[in-house]
Amino acid sequence: MTAQVDVKPVKRGIFTAMIRRDLTAAFRHPSDLINPLIFFVVVVTLFPLAVTPESDFLREIAPGVLWVSALLATLLSLDMLFQSDFQDGTLEQMLLSPQPLYSTILAKVATHWLLSGLPLTLLSPLLAMMLFLSSDGTQALMLTLLLGTPILSFIGAIGSALTVGLRKTGLLLSLLVLPLYIPVLIFASGAVQAAVAGLPIAGHLALLGALLALAVVLAPLAIATALRISLSG
Amino acid sequence: MWRWFHKLGSPKWFYAISGRWLPWFAVAALLLLSVGTVWALMFAPADYQQGNSFRIIYIHVPAAFLAQSGYVIMAVAGAIGLIWKMKLADVMAKCCAPIGASFTFLALVTGAVWGKPTWGAWWVWDARLTSMLVLLFLYLGVVALQSAFTDRNQAARASALLSLVGLVNIPIIKYSVEWWNTLHQPASLTLTEKPAMPAEMWVPLLIMVAGFYCFFTVVLLMRARVELLDRERRTGWVKDIISSGKS
Amino acid sequence: MYFESFSEFLAMGGHGKYVWIAYGLAAMIFALNLVMPMLKRKRLIVEQTRQLRREELHASDS
């Protein structure tokens, strides 16, 4: 008994259908969703414990710590992107179906972001407060997370797609993806630091926006190719 | 022209031709490197500010050039293999990776060693060293991905895609690291003296760069030939080579 | 010659340690890059000669 997806060869049809399906499936395993968030909170908590709870120091390192922690939490959540679909054969079906692969992939990345990047963004003000980040900084943090986490999802999806057929992919995935995350980290964290210093961040946000645009256009191509390669073994 | 391209896809033809070219490149590499090294160590003048540690430039700069071109060659070869399904291109890409990674490591360590007498620290987070470190990570990622697959062709295609993704990202990474660096470092000493280098300094540098490239070609061809023998072990021409025991 | 004597050459005006570490490492990397394919080739030929001999034996058996 195959699950019937509305077979309308219209881009919007498969996009929303895919998102709806993946979100429903994800909410059946709420622990998978909460874990990266808990990780985010725990990692941020480690810094005052490891160094000093002094507000001046924490305020200074807050932009970097918050962004690095968000980055690592995203890395943790990348497993869920393609793994389950790969194991039950749905991934193969996706590649064979007449639905435009671009929309399918876009939907998958969008779902991933809705389930990881967005919650991280919403949780960040709480953690920013714990690290004594100013309100300007917190605002910049949320904006950069909003723009940056989708980029992380796109780039992470490339790594995920390349390693989906392999065993023990955890460390390999991090090695592949982290160097590619560096520009996002630099511009986003730089923006938050600039905001804390009272400087304008429009330039930084524009750069992040440009990276996001690039990711939206190019990443799905790479992801599709990677999926085909992974499934051809 | 297409016939040449098609021939290029034939491992047997490549093995024969590379066998003829290899000695020439080896001789060229040996000559250039010996002349260059002697000139660099004994005849080139020391730098006014940095003294004799400046001589490290004759290793660091060629290694850095090779590190970067090596990655480009690897990515382009990978792309050719991916698009035209050419075995030889896959082999070239696979062989580039460890060689390029070793030169990146060399560039990194010589850059650090050079930094110690110049700036007093074994490591500084300046734009060039940091970018080179990220390049090393990119190389290691490709090598790691290659070895993670059991199917040789799948491994080649996956690492080709990864190196292409890396290639697209390299300018972005470099730009972001330079931008980051200008924020956090005061006007920094550039490790390499740019145009104001007298001939006694840049001629040996050029010779060393040429020597490094020739050496790269030599070891790449050596690796590629062995890899081809391995892949094509079931074919007649390889069996002939093995049984005749010739080089 | 830039240097007056061999000991001066080794000392490199106080920077000898750094220069020789750099050049020494370069020599090692060059050597490694040369030796590894040569070893792999030797291993491959030995392994394949053995394999071919085994196949010839089987062929003559059957």
The 10s digit of each residue's pLDDT in A106-152 is: 999 999 999 999 999 999 999 999 999 999 999 999 999 999 999 99
Tokens standing for residue B178: 């330079």
Structural domains in chain A (count): 1
User: In this complex, is the C-beta atom of B121 within 8 Å of any C-beta atom belonging to chain C?
Assistant: no
User: Predicted confidence band at B162 (pLDDT cuts at 50, 70, 90)?
Assistant: very high
pLDDT surpassing 90 at residue C25: yes
User: Predicted confidence band at A29 (pLDDT cuts at 50, 70, 90)?
Assistant: confident
Mutate to test the interface with C, among B47, B48, B55 (most CBs of C within 10 A): B55
Average pLDDT, chain A: 91
* Mean pLDDT across A220-229: 95
The nearest alpha carbon in chain C to B109 belongs to C22
A·B CB contacts under 8 A: 72
Q: List the domain range (segments joined by +) for residue A157.
A: 11-231
ipTM over 0.85: yes
Residue B51: phi, psi to the nearest 5? 70, -150
Q: Which chains touch A (3 or more CB pairs under 8 A)?
A: B
Residue of A196, A66, A221 whose CA lies nearest to B164: A221
Residue A149 confidence (pLDDT): 97
In-domain check, residue A5: no
What letter represents residue B82's amino acid? L
pLDDT surpassing 50 at residue B195: no
User: Predicted confidence band at B193 (pLDDT cuts at 50, 70, 90)?
Assistant: very low
Residue B4 confidence (pLDDT): 67
Residues of chain B with a CB closer than 8 angstroms to some CB in chain A: 82, 134, 137-138, 140-141, 144-145, 148-151, 154, 157-158, 161-162, 164-166, 168-169, 172-173, 175-177, 179-180, 183
Give me the residue from B45, B56, B215 closest to C2, CB to CB: B45
Q: Which chains touch C (3 or more CB pairs under 8 A)?
A: B
The distance of B189 to chain A (nearest Cα, Å) reads 22
| Predicted confidence (pLDDT) per residue in A9-25, tens digit | 555 688 888 888 888 88
pLDDT surpassing 80 at residue B240: yes
The nearest alpha carbon in chain B to C45 belongs to B242
pLDDT surpassing 60 at residue A233: yes
Counting other chains too, the contacts that A33-39 makes at CB distance below 8 Å and 24 or more residues apart are A33/A115, A33/A116, A33/A119, A35/A76, A35/A77, A36/A73, A36/A74, A36/A76, A36/A77, A36/A116, A36/A119, A36/A120, A37/A73, A37/A119, A37/A120, A37/A123, A39/A69, A39/A72, A39/A73, A39/A76
Tell which phi-psi region holds residue A82, choosing left (phi > 0), alpha (psi between -120 and 50) or beta: alpha
Tokens standing for residue A176: 């592949």
| Predicted confidence (pLDDT) per residue in B100-143, tens digit | 999 999 999 999 998 888 888 888 888 889 999 999 999 999 99
Contact B172 A211 (CB under 8 A): yes
* Mean pLDDT across B171-198: 72
Contact B161 A218 (CB under 8 A): no
Q: How far apart are CA B30 and CA A194, in angstroms?
A: 52
Task: State the alpha helices, DSSP H only, in chain A.
Answer: 11-27, 30-50, 55-77, 83-87, 90-96, 101-115, 117-130, 135-163, 170-196, 202-231
In-domain check, residue A135: yes
The distance of A214 to chain B (nearest Cα, Å) reads 11
Contact B106 C25 (CB under 8 A): yes
Residue A84 confidence (pLDDT): 85
Q: Which chains touch B (3 or more CB pairs under 8 A)?
A: A, C
User: What are the boundaries of each domain within chain C?
Assistant: 6-61
The nearest alpha carbon in chain B to C38 belongs to B222
* Mean pLDDT across B208-234: 95
Q: How far apart are CA B228 and CA B233, in angstroms?
A: 8
What pTM value is reported for the model? 0.91
The helix-helix angle for A135-163 and A117-130 (nearest 10°) equals 140
Contact B245 C45 (CB under 8 A): yes
| Predicted confidence (pLDDT) per residue in B6-23, tens digit | 666 788 899 999 999 999
Cβ atoms within 10 Å of A202's Cβ, excluding its own: 8
In-domain check, residue A4: no
| Predicted confidence (pLDDT) per residue in A41-99, tens digit | 999 999 999 999 999 999 999 999 999 999 999 999 998 789 888 888 889 998 998 88
In-domain check, residue A105: yes
In-domain check, residue A89: yes
pLDDT surpassing 60 at residue A2: no
* Mean pLDDT across B64-71: 96
Residue B69 confidence (pLDDT): 96
